[in-house]
Structure 1
Amino acid sequence: MPTQSINFQVRAVITPKERELFLDLPAKIYASDPHWIPPIRSSITKEFTSDYPFSQYGKLQQFVALSQDVDNPQPLGRIVAAVNQRLIEREGDNIGLFGYFECVSDFDVAQALLTSASEWLRVQGMTRVRGPIDLSTHNRCFFLVDGFDSPPLVMMPYNPPYYPELIERDGWQKAKDAYAYDFPLDKPLPKEFEKAHRVACKSGVNFRPIRTKGESFEKDAIAIYHLFNRAFAHSWSSTPRTEAEFLEEAKELQNIIDPDVFPIAEYNGEMIGFFMGLPDYNIPLKHVNGKLNWLGILKFLWYRRQIDQGRVITICSLPDYRLKMVPLALIYLGMQGGIQKGKPYKRAELSWVYEDNYPSRKLIEAAGGKIYKTYRIYEKAL
């Protein structure tokens, strides 16, 4: 990793100019990286506003590292320290978070940013820090540590290869890894998956696509919210969302959902499982430069035609219905929906899956998935 001597200072972000420099930095870091997908700038901006849901149960502080240029200081790094009270209450431990980390390839800058975030969290009474997590794992989290040779799929993180080295050199330890699985769609699923679908249907399970219009969509989204909370109540480092938060996020995805890769399982009229697949909208987003103004929307619509892959975000089933083969049946339906005539999908990514989630890993690997990217969250005692 190259290291260079830079004169800089780390500031708490207070002024509008500092906020703009904070938002400007990623474009500088990734200027020559062909795999980076610029985030939608307005979406990142709203996460720091007083009406963003996080402000009701947490607090944060942004920091930016600036070059010592009186006339024109340039951003060299950024970080956000956050206290998520829901996480503290759930884990019974004073865990602070760092996120939104971006930095030039300079250890001194990275260390100063991490130190500034840690000191702020120590003042808030935190005893440990975990990250990168952008306020919660429902936003963005992880450093990519292996698999830098391809772009991230929709809603997945990406970073330069030197980020893990920067944080490990500062004494941070691995907290947990997660994997992304590559799943080519040119090979049929093992016969057990189609058989599982038949077994589930004979057991009285009904399958249908998610509904994407009006009140029907909202009804499905609410059912997914409650099912998700039941199925993933003990997921590591995860915090519960309110129904209003979940619905707001769902509505942002409403227009990009492909119902054919989002099957739902019901039993006696109750939702008991779902397979959440999404087209890889990172492909058109790469061309809008982080701005969905009228020109960005036109570019998005034009390049949307190039989408040829998708991401499977969640395969969810209540435990009582696993003996009815519901998870395997959902995988069968989701994959069949993706390869039916007229669909553009050539491959899928199943992500992310924690390293110790052995039931899901076993299921995905039985279906033919292969690990091709590894992500990591770090921790450090204060």
Structure 2
Amino acid sequence: MLTQTRNFQVKAVSSDKDREIFLDVPHIVYKNDANWVPPFRSSIAKQLASENAFRQHGELQQFIALSETGKPLGRIVAAINHRLIESEGKTIGIFGYFECIEDFEVAQALLEAACQWLREHNMESVRGPIDLSTHNRCLFQVDRFDLPPMIMTPYNPSYYPEFIEKAGWEKGNDAYIYNFPLDKPLDPKFEKAYRIACKSGITFRPLRTKGEEFEQDCQNMYNLMSKAFAKNYSYIYRTQEEFMAQARELQQMADPDVFPIAEHNGEMIGFWMGLPDYNIVLKHLNGKFDWWGMIKFLWYRRQIDQGVVPVIVSLPEYRRKMVPLALIYLGMQGGIKKGKPYKRAELGWVWETNSPSRKLIEASGGKIYKTYRMYEKAL
């Protein structure tokens, strides 16, 4: 498949050289962006490799845009995730890994190449950006481009939303990230909620980060999240193997003091996932983790002074026992514990339609300060 437009072309990735060009694109797009944090090149390559677990339940095609002289201008992946189709009961494709120079014609051609591939595979609509799964990078940031992203949060140039909307795509759903300053005390009702939860038989402990205990905690988290998030917008089921692979990547980053777990009769029923913002470190590694990268990692991690909370989860039947409020209390207390460097935290992203979670977060002092958007289009 080849699309020729003006003085550039969009072509399907079909060789090792093409795959290297695909991985090069972000470094061209963001070369003058001080806020960008390069992802690990090897991690992106692994996600798209033929042996990746995604291929057991999905198909994909990578595309790149090249100038007449062969200079990379952009990239995109069209994909079919059969788990999403099964979950929603409709033939919906996805696009992801989108990166593009500030040229609308290039962006439009890349998006159309992805859409055409999905049409040829009998998809009736498309959603994105989703890098194969919502458990990977997804969503376009639509405001606050003056702020650097924290770890596990999306980031993109400000012109991406403008380009995709100009190309005729519509909003599917918005999501928010909340800012938590740690210099303001929580409402006393959160500590009260913690004491009520304890009296009702709920126990709390930190995440275990070593050996078999870590593996067991992660397996329990997988089971809990699979129950709690199954009905979320655009939720895509993943296997325990896929979940554990991501968990092991984050294992060395975990801080047990900001990762409380709630249990009842020995069963995990909720947790607050707090992580130090390792993007402060990763932006200095340029997507590589060689011996020099290790030295940089050890040096720059001393500068981490903020954290991110990607997930707060509790089984619905334990909300009346104040478990979500208790987890917020413990997570925040861990963040301000003596000797901890955290000055603030980000929480989310949270879908705009998730009213229960939003009310809880806002009651604890969180303020919306970044917005992200999922887009959709009929094919």
Q: Name the TM-score class by shorter chain.
A: over 0.9
1:320 is the counterpart of 2:317: yes
Distance 1:174 1:226 in 2: 31
Question: 2:78 is matched with which residue: 61, 81, 85?
Answer: 81
Partner of 1:345: 342
- Asked if the contact 2:144–2:370 (Cα under 8 Å) also holds between the matched residues in 1, the reply is yes
Partner of 2:68: 68
Partner of 1:202: 199
SS of 1:146's equivalent in the other structure is: coil
Distance 2:163 2:64 in 1: 17
1:138 is the counterpart of 2:110: no
Amino acid at match of 2:362: E
Question: What is the RMSD of the two structures over their aligned residues, measured on CA atoms?
Answer: 0.9
SS of 1:35's equivalent in the other structure is: coil
Amino acid at match of 1:39: P
1:120 is the counterpart of 2:114: no
Distance 2:146 2:181 in 1: 17
Distance 1:16 1:52 in 2: 17
Q: CA deviation at 1:109?
A: 0.6
- Asked if the contact 2:280–2:301 (Cα under 8 Å) also holds between the matched residues in 1, the reply is yes
Q: CA deviation at 1:307?
A: 0.4
Distance 1:149 1:76 in 2: 24
Amino acid at match of 1:37: V
- Asked if the contact 1:262–1:275 (Cα under 8 Å) also holds between the matched residues in 2, the reply is yes
- Provide the identity percentage: 67
SS of 1:174's equivalent in the other structure is: strand
Question: 1:237 is matched with which residue: 230, 234, 251?
Answer: 234
1:311 is the counterpart of 2:311: no
TM-score (norm 2): 0.98
- Asked if the contact 1:178–1:376 (Cα under 8 Å) also holds between the matched residues in 2, the reply is yes
The unaligned stretches of length 5 or more in structure 2 are none
Distance 1:40 1:111 in 2: 27
Question: 1:189 is matched with which residue: 169, 186, 189?
Answer: 186
Distance 1:6 1:22 in 2: 21
Amino acid at match of 1:38: P
1:12 is the counterpart of 2:9: no
Q: CA deviation at 1:369?
A: 0.6
1:297-348 alpha-carbon deviations (Å, 9 max, x no partner)? 1111110010000001111111111111000000000000010000000000
Amino acid at match of 1:123: E
Distance 2:251 2:240 in 1: 16
SS of 1:47's equivalent in the other structure is: helix
Distance 1:32 1:253 in 2: 28
The unaligned stretches of length 5 or more in structure 1 are none
SS of 1:114's equivalent in the other structure is: helix
SS of 1:64's equivalent in the other structure is: strand
Amino acid at match of 1:327: P
1:71-108 alpha-carbon deviations (Å, 9 max, x no partner)? xx101011000000010011110000000001111111
1:28-86 alpha-carbon deviations (Å, 9 max, x no partner)? 111111110000100001011122110110010000000011xxx10101100000001
Partner of 1:217: 214
Partner of 1:174: 171
TM-score (norm 1): 0.97
Q: CA deviation at 1:148?
A: 0.7
Distance 1:267 1:351 in 2: 26
Distance 2:50 2:75 in 1: 20
- Asked if the contact 1:6–1:67 (Cα under 8 Å) also holds between the matched residues in 2, the reply is no
Q: CA deviation at 1:245?
A: 1.1
Q: Give the number of equivalent residue pairs.
A: 375
Partner of 2:251: 254
Q: CA deviation at 1:6?
A: 6.0
- Asked if the contact 1:172–1:378 (Cα under 8 Å) also holds between the matched residues in 2, the reply is yes
Distance 1:366 1:89 in 2: 36
Distance 1:308 1:216 in 2: 28
Partner of 1:52: 52
Q: CA deviation at 1:205?
A: 0.4
Distance 1:318 1:15 in 2: 47
- Asked if the contact 1:22–1:64 (Cα under 8 Å) also holds between the matched residues in 2, the reply is yes
Distance 1:87 1:145 in 2: 25
Partner of 2:28: 28
Distance 1:262 1:316 in 2: 12
Distance 2:97 2:281 in 1: 23
1:378 is the counterpart of 2:375: yes
